[in-house]
Amino acid sequence: METWFIILISLCIPALLKSLIGLIIYSQEKKQKLPPGPITVPVIGNFLWLRNSFSELEPVLWNLRDKYGPIITLRIGSRPAIFVASHKVAHHALVHNGALFSDRPKVLPASDVLTSNQHIISSATYGPTWRTLRRNLTSEILHPSRVKSYSGARRWVLGILIHRLVVDSTSAQVGVGVGAGVRVVDHFQYAMFCLLVLMCFGDRLQEKQIKEIETVQRQMLLSLRRFDILNFWPILGKTVFRNRWKELFELRQNQEKVLIPLIRSRMELVKQRQQQQPPQGKQDPLDQQVKEELEEEDHRVAYVDTLVDLELPDGKRKLEEGDGEPMQRIKMMPFGAGRRICPGFNLALLHLELFVANLIWYFQWTPAPAHDPVDLSEKQEFTVVMKNPLHAHLIPRHPTALPLP
């Protein structure tokens, strides 16, 4: 009994000290003239904010903007968080004064595990490490010539996606779940993993390997919110939340177990190719293949921009060749702005337009009877997704033109 009493006191004293320190820090922040915001009770207020996802926080911020203005301070976790709810102010800060706002603070304990001590492009401090990471990413994967060189991969993945949708759609029409339609998000995610894995590791992996990568990545992304609590009172949390810390390390180890062998294999392949490079002046036999793929990609882009016989939802008008901007250039807010803007947003827009345009051209889409009308409610995962995934009834528009996987 005495032992448990000592343990309880040992846990309570740090908690009390943390609360007192929080009050002191809070009063100091007030003296620093931080932007206005609601009064937050230390400890209790932090727990309340940690329970909310960012999708749940957004409407709260809009309400607070009406009261406090476009720049708002909230205490979330161990640090004050300043939110900018004005496009003009955000542009001024991130673009006109990009160098001042391009750094990243020291990450919290759980994020330190996930980011390998801030050695990933999104969390690295603004300095040599970040510049090296970004330069390598943009030159090796995101450079326009590199993006075009993956045209064959995009055709391959499009064939996989169309084939899976046709098979699943046929099964849904004749199987037990008639009326349920096709749960399309599963096929979209698998297709994107196929493409991005090939771009990252330079090879068409087996379905089992792709599934392993998808599994470990999704497990980590969907578990991120569970680890927020580990950043609150880290020293105390090592004892109180030891099982959750164990879960975090296991997820990280699973990632490394799947990804590191692929990285090493790719490094070895690159090394071998460098040793086998022909003497300068000799023509590499792969050059002609790359040239043909680039020509096919140009044709593909022209095809996407001139969709024909595409029915609009009202059924009254069809897009014809020459209409231009057939999809009204789907708008997409890139992640961030200025120097820390997401370097891959142009690639994301390319894939968005290419795959959506082809899916509309190949299939007629209607809500599945069992899921009509479509529910557009949202929930937060790694990004904002549909709370109830889309189930669709698909009818091929051009059965004889379906691509092969």
Nearest to 348 by CA among 196, 212, 125, 232: 196
pTM (predicted TM-score): 0.72
Two tokens, residue 383: 């990004």
At residue 230, the pLDDT reads: 84
Two tokens, residue 43: 């400890």
For the chain, list residues with pLDDT below 70.
Answer: 1-32, 40-56, 76-78, 172-179, 278-336, 382, 404-405
Q: Is the dihedral of CA 90, 92, 95, 100 positive or negative?
A: negative
Q: What are the residues whose beta carbons fall under 8 Å from the beta carbon of 21, sequence distance 6 or more?
A: none
Instruction: Return the H-helix or E-strand segment holding 188.
Output: helix 184-201
Cβ 306 vs Cβ 66: under 8 Å? no
Two tokens, residue 45: 């207020």
Instruction: Return the H-helix or E-strand segment holding 266.
Output: helix 242-275
Q: Does residue 373 have a cis peptide bond before it, meaning omega lies within 30 degrees of 0?
A: yes
Nearest to 81 by CA among 111, 135, 37: 37
At residue 51, the pLDDT reads: 60
Residue type, 188: F
Buried b (16+ CB within 10 A) or exposed e, 260-295: eebeeeeeeeeeeeeeeeeeeeeeeeeeeeeeebee
Nearest to 142 by CA among 294, 345, 365, 284: 345
β-partners of residue 396 are: 363
Q: CA 168 to CA 188: how far, in whole Å?
A: 13
Cβ-in-10-Å burial (0-12, 13-18, 19+) of 119 comes to exposed
At residue 313, the pLDDT reads: 35
At residue 323, the pLDDT reads: 37
Is 200 labelled a binding residue?
Answer: no
Cβ 310 vs Cβ 326: under 8 Å? yes
β-partners of residue 379 are: 385
Q: Residues 69-100: pLDDT tens digits?
A: 999 988 766 677 888 888 888 888 888 888 88
Nearest to 350 by CA among 153, 169, 168, 133: 153
